[in-house]
Chain A
Amino acid sequence: MNVEQVLFWCAVGCYGVSAFAYVFGFIAEKEKLVTAGLATAVLGFAAHTASIALRWVSSAVTPFISISESLALGTFMAMALYLLVQATTRKVRPLGVFVVPAVFVLIGWAGTLREATGSQLAPALQSGWLWAHIVGASIGFASVMIAAGLAGMFLLKEHRSGGIYDRLPAPSDLDRLAYRFVAAGFIMYGLMIVTGALWADQAKGSYWNWDPVEVWSLVSWLVYGIYLHLRITMGWRGRRLAWYALAAVVVMIVSYWGIPFSVETFHKGFRVEHL
């Protein structure tokens, strides 16, 4: 096992410990356990960052291509955004109860799919649009993941008080913050879809092919579009939207990694006719 692999599994381990500390700290209302969860999440994030950097340096290929690499990047972005939110708003520390376990499960799955890097980027991927596409997809995922975490906190806080719940922001603040993250994720998904369309047009001459991954991306974008419409046009707030945000993130995860994993699509290997 090389150093990059060791660091990757260290990250998985740290996130596992962090998830445990967060969940049990929250259930037992032990602030120290929650703090320990944050500390191990930071450690895991450092190892996660180093493993991605080493993989990038040791191969000639951008390490965000395969499903496993895409999962590693998505979870990396989610953790980066989560830690950024922690650094700016201490009140949302229990957000880790929702974010870290999900990250742990996803990165653990990435670990089971890991493979050696190639030495050459496939011709279809040698495009500047790749970067904008990946950045849009990963930040979009991170944003809606945080939004789902905030929605979860809203549901916990709504009818409870005392102890750890008193230190959480007011439900209306959580609701508004979740909406902002959904809106940001919606824009980043838009960026992902637009750059994906431009890229497909460049590579295949067709901006939209109704490929399963494309359609699922559209589905998750529409799901968040409906969230925004429900909030802004129909005036929905609070509990209903919080449940919606939690369900929407599941749709997003399925479309993002479940579909390319299970269905033959243009995204899976970017195959063209071979000689």
Chain B
Amino acid sequence: MTTPDAQPPLTGKRPPPGPGRRAFLVISSPRLAIALLIAVLACCVVGVTVFTPEPAWRLIFNTLWFNGLLSLLAMSSGLTFFGRIWGRRLTLISVGMILFHVSFMAMLGGVVFNSLFHFKGVLRLTEGETLPNGDPASYDTIELGRFFDFARLRGETTLVRMHRGYLVDGQEKRVAYEITVGEGAAKATATIYMTQNLDHGGVRYLVAKEGYSVGVVLHDRLGQEQYGAMVPLQSLKHGEGSYLYTTGNSKEPGSFPFPPPPDRAAILLQVGYVPDQAQDRAGQVEFFTWPPEGAAGQEKPAASGKVAVGGTFDAGAYRLEAREVRYWVGMTVRHDPGLMVILTSLWAGLAGMTMTFAGRIWQDAKREKRAAAGERPATTEPRGIT
């Protein structure tokens, strides 16, 4: 009989662990950590060999189960590591390992936090145009976290001008956007280009894509202005290195009601633009018009012709003026509240790896020195922690 204070006999069976302890033992097993590493590895290999990038993103990398696998890996490697290092003497090796594993878990925490609160949108603006940042209708595309609040996007954004062939310290940056963002006295003006973005109030503005907009004015037969608008054009790849600039969608040219709804359309209009090779914002503007009553599919346009920028085209009942050419830009607007944690964790993880490596080399050197001096090594290479 055993009294409550007595130690259990050494040869006796230990009581089986409870479900909580069993779960802990499973999740903190090094074998599980390695199995999870291999599973993540296999998913990555399948994602880049079986699928092209877009389906891989949809079917693997952006799925709940894959993110769950990553979370489980972080938890498993953290528990495995900390369960084994707990109570050990702090050395360069162990501190490096702690730093690496803490940074790994912090990075994953940052990724999860960011995915819940982030925002990514493409704001399309023509030069001189201003759009409210907090209005979802301002964006061409939006991707946001479950808990993102549009109130985070305060003020408005104006594209002052787009510069081509922009130079910084003699290096060509291809394009740069001169923008103003914010509200009231807290407005900021900056010129952004590839590798240089604007961070205003935790929201970043980045260059993404550009195109031409043609200012089209509709006149009646008497020359009276009826309607005018900047018409953004698509750039459709047209052979090696050349582009076709036209209205339509990202795949093919197309027409649209002009003026657009809710106004009453006078014509269906397709606009094209052939830039002048020597002079910026100059060139030829092509017009194709159809009657407004559902003739979009009609092969032959009612009127078509080409005028220089600034010229007027006679479209029968109306005249169309190609008043000017401006640039439009599709600017990426991002809010990533977890970014700082993620990027800092990456550096911390790297520092941890380096410390561990340096510690191991140092430890090996000491051991070799002792062996050369004929001493018995005090310890063997530590196992069980990574």
User: Chain A interface (Cβ within 8 Å of chain B)?
Assistant: 120-121, 123-124, 126-127, 176, 180, 183-184, 186-187, 190-191, 193-194, 197-198, 201-207, 210-212, 215-216, 218-219, 222-223, 225-226, 228-230, 232-235, 259, 263, 272-275
Contacts and interface: CB of A to CB of B under 8 A. Distances in A.
Instruction: Classify the secondary structure of A's interface with B.
Output: helix
A123 B383 contact: no
Contact of A272 (B57, B204, B209, B361): B209
Given A212-B53, A272-B208, A121 B171 contact: yes
Contacts of A190: 349-350, 353
B175 A197 contact: no
A273 B210 contact: yes
A180 B353 contact: no
B339 A201 contact: yes
Interface in B272-299: none
Contacts of B173: 123, 126
A229 B61 contact: no
Given A198-B343, A210-B56, A234-B34, A228 B210 contact: no
Across the A-B interface, the 9 shortest Cβ-Cβ residue pairs: A273-B209, A123-B194, A205-B206, A194-B346, A210-B61, A215-B48, A233-B30, A212-B48, A222-B41
Contact of B235 (A126, A127, A203, A275): A275
A187 B357 contact: yes
Given A219-B41, A272-B209, A233 B48 contact: no
16 contacts: A121-B171, A123-B174, A183-B357, A183-B360, A194-B350, A197-B343, A202-B195, A203-B194, A211-B53, A216-B44, A219-B48, A229-B37, A230-B34, A259-B48, A273-B209, A275-B235
B150 interface: no
Contacts of B172: 120, 123
Contacts of B210: 273, 275
A234 B353 CA distance: 19
B262 interface: no
A233 B173 CA distance: 49
Contacts of A180: 360-361, 364
A157 to B, nearest CB: 19
B43 to A, nearest CB: 10
A202 B204 CA distance: 10
Contact of B386 (A193, A233, A272): A233
Contacts of A273: 208-211, 235, 330
B78 interface: no
B78 to A, nearest CB: 14
A229 B212 contact: no
Interface string B26-67: 000010011001101100110110000100110001000000
B206 A204 contact: yes
Interface of B: 30, 33-34, 37-38, 40-41, 44-45, 47-48, 53, 56-57, 61, 80, 120, 164, 171-175, 193-195, 197, 204, 206-212, 235, 243, 327, 330, 332, 334, 339, 342-343, 346-347, 349-350, 353-354, 357, 360-361, 364, 382-386
Contacts of B211: 273, 275
Contacts of B195: 123-124, 126-127, 202-203
A268 to B, nearest CB: 12
A194 B173 CA distance: 24
A190 B350 CA distance: 6
Contact of B194 (A120, A124, A184): A124
Given A123-B193, A190-B350, A219 B45 contact: yes
Given A123-B174, A126-B171, A222-B37, A216 B48 contact: yes
Contacts of A197: 343, 346
A230 to B, nearest CB: 7
Contacts of B204: 205
A229 B33 contact: yes
Which of A120, A123, A203, A228 gathers most chain B CB within 10 Å? A123
Nearest to B100: A190
A259 B45 CA distance: 12
Nearest to A124: B194
Nearest to B210: A275
A205 B383 contact: no
Given A187-B353, A194-B350, A226-B38, A219 B243 contact: no
Nearest to B166: A123
Given A205-B120, A228-B386, 6 more contacts: A120-B172, A190-B353, A205-B197, A263-B48, A272-B209, A273-B210
B197 A233 contact: no
Contacts of A272: 174, 194, 207-209
Nearest to A202: B195
B383 A232 contact: yes
A235 B383 contact: yes
A223 B382 CA distance: 22
Given A219-B44, A272-B194, A229 B34 contact: yes
A234 B37 CA distance: 14
A232 B360 CA distance: 11
Contact of A232 (B38, B334, B339, B385): B385
